[in-house]
Amino acid sequence: MRAGIAAILVLLLSAPFPSDPEKEVAFRWIEQNAATTRKVSLNIWSNPELALREFKSSRELIQYLQSNGFRVEKGVAGISTSFVASSGSGKPVIAIYGEYDALAGLSQKAEPIRSPLVEEGPGHGCGHNLIGAASAAAAVAVSRAMEAGNLKGTIRFYGTPAEEAAGGKNYMLEAGLFKDVDILLGWHPGARTQANFEYSKAVTEVRFKFKGVAAHASSAPHLGRSALDGVELMDVGVNFMREHVKEDSRIHYVITKGGGQPNVVPADAESWYYIRANKHQDVLDMFEWISHIAEGAALMSRTQVEIQVADDSHEVLPNRPLAEAIDRNLHLVGPPKFTEEERTLARKMQEPLKGNFQGAFAENIEPLPDQVAQGLYSTDLGNVSWNVPSGSLGVASYPFGAPIHSWQVAACAGMSIGQKAIDVAAKTLAGTAIDLFKNPALVEASKKDFQERKKGYNYRLLLPPNRKAPVFQEAQ
Ligand SMILES: [Zn+2]
């Protein structure tokens, strides 16, 4: 008899969730509105817009949230494409963020071979069209569940532009927009389906602007001072420095300005750098060294250099209670289910990748790691996660082996392969948010974990105070 009771108890305790009426309301809403949500994500995918220029994409999401009863504050933090949408009132404030910017040069049709829609145009090679739509659906579904279950508090959606460059969330953080948020949740398309319990890399984004003197390159070269020489000498110096940085460092650059034509000594030239490492302190150290190299290059070429820090993001701070809550909800929802037809498309997309892949997709939920893992990417969630306890997940949205920021990811984000991640992500985020509203102890445990991981850390940033985001006008 005792054993029988124990068995029932074990069953009750090990079931991820007892039947939960609020989650049922949320999940049903997500299913009933799946066609509209997918359309929103496809509209964003069909009009890929670069960082800080997400005019149509942000309007698409604002319209979706407003038509579902959310109050929207537009153009916050001095960025016309950022917004905050809310439903409910008072504490706790549980927030979900959504991204929607695209990447340069990754224009791609919804086809399994490389085929740009617009030559050299932008494309959703990071699947942010899926993020925006699924996160917005999760927020609306939670608001419906709160009304049905009479849950107290505020559900908020943060429309965060410019994740791929400039760091939209950092501007929103500096404007104080996350101040009253108790917990922040989000997701990202991935090669695997998993609750994240990991650090990302920290990154700083810097522009080195060299200024020289223009002159005729043949008849008066002695009067010219080449800004391009400054850029090239600097890049050579940095490439020598690479031998002496930690193994987890990443330094990459592009030359964004190098002169107009060879017979004019270039008066203006610019290098754009991303400096990354697992720990933000290592980024700060490399930034100092690289700045000295830039100054040395300016001395050598008799030019001037202006150093502009465009963004500075910490590694993401992991949170164990949130990772566990997301993992439980992910198991309740299940991974995306791919069809044989989709597997065939995936194998076709894997062909140019030349790898020995174990199947077309990651079709199961990966176990939550016991120890904090280390991601190789960076995100502007980094700084926010040092200010608000944050949790996130990845959902399989493209084939095994396809690198993020590739045409394969851009193609999948416009195909059923990527679209089905919306359902999994929206339900998992909604389920986790509902747990947070219903269970104040989970909010407290997440905050305690957050405080403990930050203890003794000297949080510093290179960003100047009161900086303003670059402004772009929408083409008419
Ligand atoms: Zn991304």
Using the mean position of ligand 1's atoms as its centre, give its distance from the Cα of residue 189 in Å: 8
Using the mean position of ligand 1's atoms as its centre, give its distance from the Cα of residue 107 in Å: 15
Using the mean position of ligand 1's atoms as its centre, give its distance from the Cα of residue 341 in Å: 26
pLDDT score of 327: 98
Using the mean position of ligand 1's atoms as its centre, give its distance from the Cα of residue 441 in Å: 31
Using the mean position of ligand 1's atoms as its centre, give its distance from the Cα of residue 254 in Å: 19
Using the mean position of ligand 1's atoms as its centre, give its distance from the Cα of residue 408 in Å: 14
Contact present, 81 and 143 (Cβ < 8 Å): no
Using the mean position of ligand 1's atoms as its centre, give its distance from the Cα of residue 146 in Å: 30
The owner of tokens 């494309």 is 123
pLDDT digits (tens, 9 = 90+) for 345-404: 999 999 999 888 889 999 999 999 999 999 999 999 999 999 999 999 999 999 999 999
pLDDT score of 11: 45
Q: Are 196 and 206 in a shared domain?
A: no
Q: Are 369 and 305 in a shared domain?
A: no
Would you state the structure tokens that stand for residue 392, as one six-digit string?
């996130």
Q: Round to whole Å and give the CA distance between 110 and 157.
A: 28
In a domain, 469, yes or no: no
In a domain, 461, yes or no: no
Q: Are 433 and 390 in a shared domain?
A: yes
pLDDT digits (tens, 9 = 90+) for 424-445: 999 999 999 999 999 999 999 9
The owner of tokens 């990302």 is 200
Domain ranges, residue 289: 202-312
Q: Are 290 and 344 in a shared domain?
A: no
Using the mean position of ligand 1's atoms as its centre, give its distance from the Cα of residue 428 in Å: 19
Q: Are 306 and 372 in a shared domain?
A: no
Q: Classify residue 357 by burial, with Cβ atoms within 10 Å: 0-12, 13-18, 19+.
A: middle
Contact present, 374 and 139 (Cβ < 8 Å): no
In a domain, 474, yes or no: no
Q: Round to whole Å and give the CA distance between 98 and 93.
A: 16
Q: Is 338 helix (H, G, I), strand (E, B) or coil?
A: coil
pLDDT digits (tens, 9 = 90+) for 120-155: 999 999 999 999 999 999 999 999 999 999 999 999
- Write down the mean pLDDT value for the chain: 95
Using the mean position of ligand 1's atoms as its centre, give its distance from the Cα of residue 417 in Å: 17
In a domain, 468, yes or no: no
pTM, 2 dp: 0.91
Given 289, 312, 335, the domain boundary residue is: 312
**What is the percent of the chain with per-residue pLDDT over 70, rounded to a whole number?**
96
Q: How many domains are contained in the chain?
A: 2
E strand residue ranges, 191-323:
194-195, 198-199, 202-211, 250-257, 268-277, 304-313
Q: Are 127 and 247 in a shared domain?
A: no
Using the mean position of ligand 1's atoms as its centre, give its distance from the Cα of residue 131 in Å: 9
**Nearest partner of 113 among 346, 343, 416, 342, judged by Cα:** 346
Contact present, 254 and 272 (Cβ < 8 Å): yes
Average pLDDT over residues 153-176: 96
Using the mean position of ligand 1's atoms as its centre, give its distance from the Cα of residue 194 in Å: 16
Using the mean position of ligand 1's atoms as its centre, give its distance from the Cα of residue 378 in Å: 9
Using the mean position of ligand 1's atoms as its centre, give its distance from the Cα of residue 468 in Å: 23
Q: Are 146 and 231 in a shared domain?
A: no
CB atoms within 10 A of CB 299: 13
Using the mean position of ligand 1's atoms as its centre, give its distance from the Cα of residue 102 in Å: 9
Using the mean position of ligand 1's atoms as its centre, give its distance from the Cα of residue 329 in Å: 22
**Nearest partner of 193 among 414, 30, 363, 316, judged by Cα:** 363
CB atoms within 10 A of CB 471: 9
User: What CATH number is attached to the domain comprising 224?
Assistant: 3.30.70.360
**Nearest partner of 388 among 173, 199, 87, 75, judged by Cα:** 173
pLDDT digits (tens, 9 = 90+) for 265-320: 999 999 999 999 999 999 999 999 999 999 999 999 999 999 999 999 999 999 99
Would you state the structure tokens that stand for residue 421, as one six-digit string?
């991640």
Q: Are 150 and 38 in a shared domain?
A: yes
In a domain, 473, yes or no: no
Using the mean position of ligand 1's atoms as its centre, give its distance from the Cα of residue 210 in Å: 30
In a domain, 319, yes or no: yes
In a domain, 240, yes or no: yes
Given 295, 312, 329, the domain boundary residue is: 312
Q: Are 66 and 166 in a shared domain?
A: yes
pLDDT score of 15: 44
Residue 1 pLDDT exceeds 60? no
Q: Are 320 and 434 in a shared domain?
A: yes
Please state, in angstroms and as integers, the Cα–Cα distance from residue 382 to each residue in 62, 186, 296, 333, following that order: 25, 12, 32, 27
Given 250, 283, 312, the domain boundary residue is: 312
Using the mean position of ligand 1's atoms as its centre, give its distance from the Cα of residue 187 in Å: 10
Q: Are 66 and 81 in a shared domain?
A: yes
Using the mean position of ligand 1's atoms as its centre, give its distance from the Cα of residue 448 in Å: 28
Residue 12 pLDDT exceeds 60? no
Question: Which amino acid is present at 195?
Answer: A
Using the mean position of ligand 1's atoms as its centre, give its distance from the Cα of residue 128 in Å: 6
pLDDT category at 5 given cuts 50, 70, 90 is low
Q: Classify residue 162 by burial, with Cβ atoms within 10 Å: 0-12, 13-18, 19+.
A: buried
Q: Are 192 and 332 in a shared domain?
A: yes
Using the mean position of ligand 1's atoms as its centre, give its distance from the Cα of residue 188 in Å: 7
In a domain, 74, yes or no: yes
Using the mean position of ligand 1's atoms as its centre, give its distance from the Cα of residue 438 in Å: 30
User: What CATH number is attached to the domain comprising 184?
Assistant: 3.40.630.10
